[in-house]
Amino acid sequence: MNAEPSQTPGSANKTSEVAPAAQASRSGSALPLLALIVALAAAGITGFQWYQDRSANTLLRSELAQRLADMDAQNKEAASRVLQTAAALREAEIKVGVLEAKLAESQSQQIALEALYQELSRNRDEWAFADIEQAVLLASQQLQVAANVRTALIGLENVETRLQRMDQPRYSALRRALTRDIERLKALPLTDVSGTAVRLNDAIENIDRLPLAMDARARPDTAAAPAAPAADVPAWERIAREAWRELRQLVRVQSINVREAALLAPEQGFFLRENLKLRLLGARIALLSRDAKSYQIDLQVALATLERFFDARDSGVTTTVATLRKLQAAQVQIDLPDLQETLEALRKLRPPRAKGSA
């Protein structure tokens, strides 16, 4: 240890020169190793980075392939949906076309209905007036032709009810005239023309069943025939009685009053009944034509015929005579109104077109 400090300054200088050189040689040999280590590190890092990038790339490719497959499936599904949508669209277009056609048809029908409604609205008053005029004309015909006051009164009352429901001021004059005619008809005496005609028909039908007076007088003689002889009566006596009965029927003696002097032959009974029927038919025709004089004459002749030639004791003859007397007392001829005031009011209200057509 002591020897080292005894070194000379020259040796000390040489030692100091040799040390940096050794350090330089050592440093020179360490640089390549360091570079190699750095290169290896860089290569490792690069390889690791390459491997990582490759894994990421592979994962990305697989994910991209999966996404492409999903997109392809979605595209196919979208294409299928597009086809379905196109088919549905075509079907919808067809339905829309049908609906448009129906709509056009409905619109045309609506236009036609509107036109018809407008036409009906324009002609409603004319039609109502035509119905009213027709009813009044029918009532006037019933009065003038058939003298049927009841039917004419019913027709006029229906017209008055309809005018009251309509409640239009333009018909006020017609309603006043119609009311006056209705009151005049109600004031007329009631004559049941149809009922009287029916009773005359019944009397005509009963004529054939009524017994004649000469037939009624002959019946007691035939009814008074002797009873059959007893079985113990001798045969010659029975023969004698029968012969006597036959002889009595050959000759008939009757007492005739002055009222019964006009007897008829048996074959003339048919003509008597037919003549009586004709008289009653004439009375019926006179009744319908309001000919009071002919009506009274025919009934009077019919009553005289019944009382003279028919059996007054028969209930049917008695009933027929009573019926004809009641009919003879009925009033036939009545001064009927002519509804002129109502008809004149109708003429004033008649529309211009109806006047032209009339």
Average pLDDT, the chain: 77
* 2 band by pLDDT with thresholds 50, 70 and 90: very low
Are 302 and 283 in contact by the 8 Å Cβ rule? The answer is yes
**Angle, CA 32 vertex, CA 28 and CA 34 arms, to 5°:** 105
Q: Is the pLDDT of residue 328 over 50?
A: yes
The pTM (predicted TM-score) of the whole model is: 0.42
Most confident of 88-97, 142-151, 265-274, 325-334: 88-97
Task: Give the Cα separation of 250 and 263 in Å (integer).
Answer: 19
Q: Which pLDDT belongs to residue 320?
A: 92
* 123 band by pLDDT with thresholds 50, 70 and 90: low
Tell me which DSSP letter residue 260 carries: T
Are 237 and 229 in contact by the 8 Å Cβ rule? The answer is yes
- For 21-45, the pLDDT digits (tens) are 555 555 556 777 888 888 888 888 8
Q: Which pLDDT belongs to residue 277?
A: 92
Tell me which DSSP letter residue 232 carries: T
Query: Percent helix, strand and coil across the chain, each rounded to 5?
Result: 80, 0, 20
Mean pLDDT of 86-115: 87
- CA 249 from chain centre, in angstroms, equals 76
Range name among 90-94, 168-172, 322-326 with the lowest pLDDT average: 168-172
- CA 283 from chain centre, in angstroms, equals 47
- Which comes out higher in pLDDT, residue 304 or 263? 304
- For 280-323, the pLDDT digits (tens) are 999 888 887 777 888 889 999 999 999 888 888 889 899 999 99
- CA 74 from chain centre, in angstroms, equals 63
Are 343 and 136 in contact by the 8 Å Cβ rule? The answer is yes
CA-based nearest residue to 212, from 270, 156, 155: 270
Q: Which pLDDT belongs to residue 278?
A: 93
Q: Which pLDDT belongs to residue 280?
A: 92
